[in-house]
A and B are shown apart, each in its own frame.
Chain A
Amino acid sequence: MTGGGSTRDPAATMAGVAGSDPQLSVAAGTDASKGNQSLNTATSNDQGALSPWGKFVRKSPLAALILQRLALSVALLFAVSIMIFGGVEALPGDFATTYLGQSATPQAVANIRKDLGLDQPATTRYFQWLGGALQGDFGNSWASRNSVSEQIGKRLGNSLFLAFFAAIISIPLAIGLGMLAVQFRDRLVDKVINVISLAAISLPEFFVGYLLILFFAVQMGVATFPATVYDSMGLTERLSAIALPTATLVLVVLAHMMRMTRAAILNVMSSAYVETAELKGLSGLRIIARHAAPNAVAPVINVVALNLAYLVVGVVVVEVVFVYPGMGQYMVDAVTVRDMPVVQACGLIFAAFYIFLNMVADILAIVANPRLRHPR
């Protein structure tokens, strides 16, 4: 359990552990090790007749592993789409009845259901929905009758804009602080960073957000709240509008990423070859540059990708706090009025981003692992 006292997004923690510690490898590791096994069987058994896939695996195992991981992600996304659609179908509660409330006569309910296309069988609607979603059409919102894709098109850009700036600030900061903590391990600097990051992990996003609003927007008046952005805004105006939401996101992700970076580097530093290098009498800098750093790159990249995945989800709460017109706000509003097409579309897009970033993390881990690079 290398993750330390991290409470937020345990998936990231565990997968981070899996990336750096083969014993616990469940998430990132399964694919790699599974690929490995099939690799072994392919090379040992199929001496005579090789299937085209077997040949391909033998020739370029790395590409084969990456292809496997890609295929897994596509399958996963497909399964998730079934879960999001099917889950909504299977669960009790009917929109038409809720929508009409007291005046839900059977006739009115039937009319609404027909209007929304709910009278068709679920499988038909699923394939219609999936086909539309693949072409970028998510149907119309039940509540406002507007096109969902149009709304998402505007809001997704806003959300990504926010997440992008949070990422380019937090990533270098987290890696720098993590390395600082390793450098001064078990000394005062490390302990201070440890306690502060532990506290920061425990803070809910909305608390951090309102704290920043109270200080910077209300009392000092240097920042704007609410963080509204519109199309005609210039880049500088836009940036000043998202200053506080970005700061909130950075604070929330930073602590987590820093702790995971520290754990990943420490893991490498405590390995046998670093000890050997120390005993050989190499200088500290040389050990870090030549022995530790190349091996720490993979887990650190993994940590970054996983935290970016968290960032995409973290925007939901932050957008609600700052009344920022992004995907998260859209989804939460839709959930409160039970506007299912919007909820499904947002859910699928968020899940797709999450799956994509997790996949990138795994693929980078595969690429960075020299043991998988050469055919045996």
Chain B
Amino acid sequence: MRLRSIPLSAWVGIAGIAIALICAIFAPWLAPHGESEIVGDIWAPMGGDFLLGTDNLGRDLLSRLIYGARTTIFVALAATVLSFSLGMLLSFIAAVTGGLVDQLFSRFNDLMMAIPTLIFALVVLAVLPQQLWILILVMAVLDSTRVYRIGRAVALDVAVMEFVEAARLRGEGTGWIIFREILPNTLSPLLAEFGLRFAFSILFLSTLSFLGLGIQPPAADWGGMVKDNKDGIIFGISAALVPGAAIAILTICVNLVVDWLMKRTSSLKGGRGDA
């Protein structure tokens, strides 16, 4: 792959993701103030001492935005990685084993998908205690149904190929077939899917936090920051829009990269182009 063949839109996306990652990793060094440190008046305007102004309690919005990147990206990434591992493992097992296991997994998956994700999450989170690992787990399990569906479709295509047949005849076990035969050959379409799920995770986490069911205060998190500052909107104070814009920009950047990856994989396969 030559660097020059990457389109401009993808470069914009990569740059945006890189900035967000740098903010997340180096948050304590980059942020001018502490995460929950009250530094000034309530809803101070942009500019002056505070680049983006202050929030509903007088905390520096820029600092919270930088710390929020850490929480948001970490939780979304953890949930995506977990949902991917779970979804892919189950879907590959289903595709390789076939028969009853496949039927059982797939029908259960259909059932899970019959309930809209957000509604399912609301019902489950109403019962479970509000803890970070539970939130990640719920997000991951709900999202893994989507991964399972795509993973199974892709793996079924590969599972009938000659080299898999050869491996079976060689007497390799299910584990070998999943990890050494199928996984390497499905990685490229699944990479684009990973990006898509990650973007969805960011939006989903932000929505949950916005509804007050995601990450709990005082930890900074972009969706929660919108919730904190939403009452200012009526007075024309745009503090709630800043974290909202951050969510939007990061998701757009991820989507731009995904868009390029998808076009690339579909042209590699000699597919129907951008259809």
A interface residues with partner B (beta carbon < 8 Å): 1-2, 4-11, 14, 24, 26-27, 30, 76, 79-80, 83-84, 87-88, 91-93, 186, 195, 198-199, 201-207, 210-211, 213-214, 218-219, 225, 263, 266-267, 270, 309-310, 312-313, 316-317, 320-321, 331-332, 334-336, 338, 340, 343-344, 346-347, 350-351, 354-355, 358
A202 touches B252 (CB 8 A): yes
A79 touches B111 (CB 8 A): yes
A263 to B273, CA, bound (A): 11
Measured CB to CB, the closest approach of chain A to B180, in angstroms, equals: 25
A274 to B7, CA, bound (A): 31
Q: B93-113: contact bitstring with A at CB < 8 Å (1 yes, 0 no)?
A: 000000000000000001101
A340 to B255, CA, bound (A): 37
**By the criterion of a CB under 8 Å from any partner CB, how many residues of chain B are at the interface?**
64
Secondary structure type dominating chain B contacts: helix
The answer to whether residues A7 and B118 also contact, given A267-B275, A336-B213 and a CB cut-off of 8 A, is no
Measured CB to CB, the closest approach of chain A to B55, in angstroms, equals: 14
Measured CB to CB, the closest approach of chain B to A317, in angstroms, equals: 6
The one of B124, B189, B199 that contacts A87, using a Cβ cutoff of 8 Å = B124
A213 touches B233 (CB 8 A): yes
A338 to B122, CA, bound (A): 10
Instruction: For B198, give the chain A residue with the smallest CB separation.
Output: A7
Instruction: For A321, give the chain B residue with the smallest CB separation.
Output: B230
B248 touches A204 (CB 8 A): yes
Measured CB to CB, the closest approach of chain B to A17, in angstroms, equals: 9
Measured CB to CB, the closest approach of chain A to B119, in angstroms, equals: 4
A218 to B241, CA, bound (A): 14
A198 touches B255 (CB 8 A): yes
A2 to B265, CA, bound (A): 12
The one of B192, B244, B272 that contacts A207, using a Cβ cutoff of 8 Å = B244
A345 to B247, CA, bound (A): 32
Known: A76-B110, A210-B233, A334-B126. 12 other contacts (CB 8 A): A11-B146, A198-B255, A206-B206, A207-B247, A211-B241, A316-B119, A317-B210, A338-B126, A343-B126, A347-B115, A351-B114, A351-B116
B275 touches A270 (CB 8 A): yes
A residues within 8 A CB of B125?
Answer: 335
B residues within 8 A CB of A316?
Answer: 118-119, 122, 211
The segment out of B22-30, B41-49, B256-264 that lies at the interface is: B256-264
A210 touches B244 (CB 8 A): yes
27 contacts between A and B (CB under 8 A): A1-B266, A4-B259, A5-B256, A5-B262, A7-B203, A10-B197, A93-B127, A93-B128, A198-B259, A202-B248, A204-B210, A206-B207, A206-B226, A213-B233, A213-B234, A225-B234, A313-B119, A316-B118, A317-B210, A332-B212, A334-B126, A335-B122, A335-B126, A338-B126, A340-B127, A347-B122, A351-B119
The answer to whether residues A203 and B248 also contact, given A8-B200, A198-B255, A332-B211 and a CB cut-off of 8 A, is yes
Nearest first, the 8 A-B pairs at minimum CB distance are A207-B244, A202-B251, A5-B259, A335-B126, A313-B116, A202-B252, A7-B199, A91-B127
Instruction: Tell me, yes or no, whether B150 is within 8 Å of chain A by CB.
Output: yes
B200 touches A10 (CB 8 A): yes
B128 touches A91 (CB 8 A): yes
A79 to B203, CA, bound (A): 28
Contact residues, B54-86 vs A (CB, 8 A): none
